[in-house]
């Protein structure tokens, strides 16, 4: 009897470890899952994005970029500001442009482009979506880019406001 109980317990434990199929939406695609970014995830996410961007740039024949603290500060400020405005667009609540924002943080290179997104997707899913559009793809693989700023703001409901900035 004890052996049977042990086998039943073991079988239940193994069942709990089995992967579950994703829930599917009406369009037949998996429903998104909440991507919660923790306090200690900043460097991991930034370097995962940097590695992915550089892989895409290498494939396009463009030189690698490096993370720039000033561009990242401008990206973080804009991500939070888009959340406050509740709309993804390239102008700040004070009317600032991307050029204004990079100058405010003391960046002395030339701004080349800015990609933004309002989503519940991960950074790599967002990068994939940017690569599907010609205008945002150009920002990522611009051969003149040498610096990258990348940041986000996540609301309590899970929505993420992503900003990627490239410069010389």
* Tens digits of residue pLDDT in 92-144: 999 999 999 999 999 999 999 999 999 989 999 999 999 999 999 999 999 99
Q: Is the pLDDT of residue 81 over 80?
A: yes
- pTM attached to this predicted model: 0.80
Distances (CA, A) of 40 to 9, 34, 67: 36, 17, 18
Which of 29-33, 36-40, 51-55, 154-158: highest mean pLDDT? 51-55
Q: For residue 139, what are its two tokens?
A: 């920002």
Q: Which domains does the chain have, with CATH numbers?
A: 41-167 (3.40.33.10)
Integer Cα distance of 63 and 80 in angstroms: 30
Looking at residue 14, its pLDDT comes to: 47
Report which of 163, 167, 165, 164 is spatially closest to residue 81, judged by C-alpha positions.
163
Place of tokens 């909440």: 34
Instruction: Report the alpha-carbon distance of residue 105 to residue 89 in Å, rounded.
Output: 19
């Amino acid at each position: 009897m004890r052996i049977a109980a042990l086998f039943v317990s073991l079988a239940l434990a193994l069942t709990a470890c089995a992967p579950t199929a994703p829930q599917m939406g009406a369009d037949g695609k998996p429903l998104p899952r909440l991507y919660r970014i923790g306090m200690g995830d900043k460097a991991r996410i930034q370097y995962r994005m940097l590695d992915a961007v550089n892989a895409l740039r290498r494939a396009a024949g463009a030189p690698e970029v490096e993370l720039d603290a000033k561009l990242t500060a401008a990206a973080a400020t804009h991500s939070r500001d888009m959340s406050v405005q509740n709309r993804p667009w390239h102008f700040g609540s004070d009317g600032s442009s991307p050029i204004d924002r990079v100058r405010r943080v003391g960046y002395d290179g030339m701004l080349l482009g800015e990609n933004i997104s309002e989503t519940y997707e991960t950074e790599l899913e967002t990068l994939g979506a940017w690569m599907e559009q010609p205008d945002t793809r150009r920002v990522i693989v611009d051969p003149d880019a040498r610096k990258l700023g990348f940041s986000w703001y996540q609301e309590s409901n899970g929505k993420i406001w992503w900003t990627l900035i490239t410069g010389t």
